[in-house]
Amino acid sequence: MAEVRYTAGRHFLQIPGPSSVPDPVLQAIGQATIDHRGPQFAKLGLKILDQIKQVFKTESPVIIYPSSGTGAWEASLVNTLSPGDKVLMFETGHFATLWKNMAEKLGLEVDFVPGDWRHGVDPKVAEQKLAADKNHEIRALCVVHNETSTGCASRIGEIREAIDRVGHPALFMVDTISSLGSIDYRHDEWKVDVTVSCSQKGLMLPPGLGFNAISDKALEAHETAGFARSYWDWDSILENNKKGFWHYTPATNLLYGLSVALDMLLEESLDNVFARHDRFGEATRRAVEAWGLEVLCQEPEEYSSVLTAVLMPEGHSADELRKVILEKYDMSLGTGLGKVKDKVFRIGHLGGLNDLTLAGTLAGVEMGLANAGVPYKQGGVLSAIEYLQK
């Protein structure tokens, strides 16, 4: 068995997902499990299925799976497409690459637009690609909203406008796994056909729930989609959801948690939640700038309010810095993924955190930079709190 170490105070879980789970959510999850075919469960199911729509800003159904985000990715593809279909994807970073790899494994033909991992999707490039597809062979356009490996958030509304300018009929699928419940997202207004998400990031829950918000157009595509599917199939879930149930055993205790997390988000109001995260992003970037370090994202319009990826000075290891900070201050920061492994560390500022959590997080980074012998200038925390205290 792993050795259990008890330490004073709380661990700072400042990775960009899983985010730290608020106490009321943990307490809800700790309630006794109930009969998932009984009347009490039906009430819970109906409440959640209704409230979750508000978070996606949709009137359409939202499917909830007991799954990781990766499962919800797969569900989006197999429910709407057929083997050999052409899809357009963009290399914004590690997660976009994983989604592309999955699409290829499933037998889709992917046009993967290369990227430098420092920008989101360029709406102009999306427009050119679609305009060049005169015969409308591209069946779907898949975009990661908040690229969690880089801290660049793509402009989904502008990509929608680009699709409309060309008048291309492709399905629009968006991964909001790390953005939902932290930065503004509008499933209906942006006419997204499948929005993919999961529980452990902005929704402030432990890992274990995956989501597909779907449009009428996606449901229509579903009728003729040729992929074999069973567990991920929307039909029986939609049918059972009408009465608040699932045909298999849902993750009852995580749904208790989801119910409370939704109450919390809606009570604070989504606009306030988004404004809170925007402030955290700005405060963090001010700290990074004062330290004399560089933010990975190069497009100010695409700065993420969910996380900030920070480039290490040449010759210094991001993972060594993270190790020092974990050992000395009991704080976890996000590791660099894929192409930016060891070159960046990521500060998560998503989910249920407040000004002091962020100030403490930045203090841990600033002290860690000194401890790890990384060249930096003092004053990052000061810059951040001067901004936060306003």
Ligand X SMILES: *Cc1c(COP(=O)(O)O)cnc(C)c1O
Query: Using CB under 6 A as the criterion, which residues of the chain lie in contact with ligand X when the complex forms?
Result: 17, 68-70, 95, 144, 148, 175, 177-178, 198, 207
CA 225 to chain centre: 26
Nearer to ligand X, 97 or 252 (CB): 97
Residue 63, amino acid:
I
Nearer to ligand X, 41 or 95 (CB): 95
Nearer to ligand X, 41 or 345 (CB): 345
CB of 208 to ligand X, least distance (A): 9
CB of 98 to ligand X, least distance (A): 7
Q: Is 332 exposed, middle or buried (0-12, 13-18, 19+ CB in 10 A)?
A: middle
**Residue 302 burial (CB count, 10 A):** 21
- The DSSP call for residue 15 is S
Nearer to ligand X, 151 or 368 (CB): 151
Do the beta carbons of residue 283 and residue 387 sit within 8 Å? yes
Distance between CA atoms of residues 2 and 101, nearest Å:
34
CB of 315 to ligand X, least distance (A): 29
Q: Residue 92's closest CA among 153, 36, 45?
A: 153
CB of 146 to ligand X, least distance (A): 6
Half-sphere exposure of 387 (CA within 13 A, CB side): 19
Q: Which residue has the closest beta carbon to ligand X?
A: 69
Show the DSSP H helices in the chain as ranges. 23-29, 39-56, 69-78, 94-106, 123-132, 156-166, 216-224, 234-241, 252-268, 270-291, 318-329, 355-371, 380-388
DSSP structure string for 303-351: B-SSEEEEEPPTT--HHHHHHHHHHHH-EEEBPP-GGGTTTEEEEE--S
Two structure tokens written together for 376: 């930096």
Distance between CA atoms of residues 75 and 230, nearest Å:
10
Residue 302, amino acid:
E
Q: How many residues does the chain have?
A: 390
Q: Which residue has the tokens 């503004």?
A: 184
Nearer to ligand X, 178 or 383 (CB): 178
CB of 17 to ligand X, least distance (A): 5
CB of 156 to ligand X, least distance (A): 13
Nearer to ligand X, 178 or 259 (CB): 178
CB of 341 to ligand X, least distance (A): 16
Nearer to ligand X, 255 or 372 (CB): 255
CB of 106 to ligand X, least distance (A): 16
Nearer to ligand X, 22 or 69 (CB): 69
Nearer to ligand X, 144 or 388 (CB): 144
CB of 69 to ligand X, least distance (A): 3
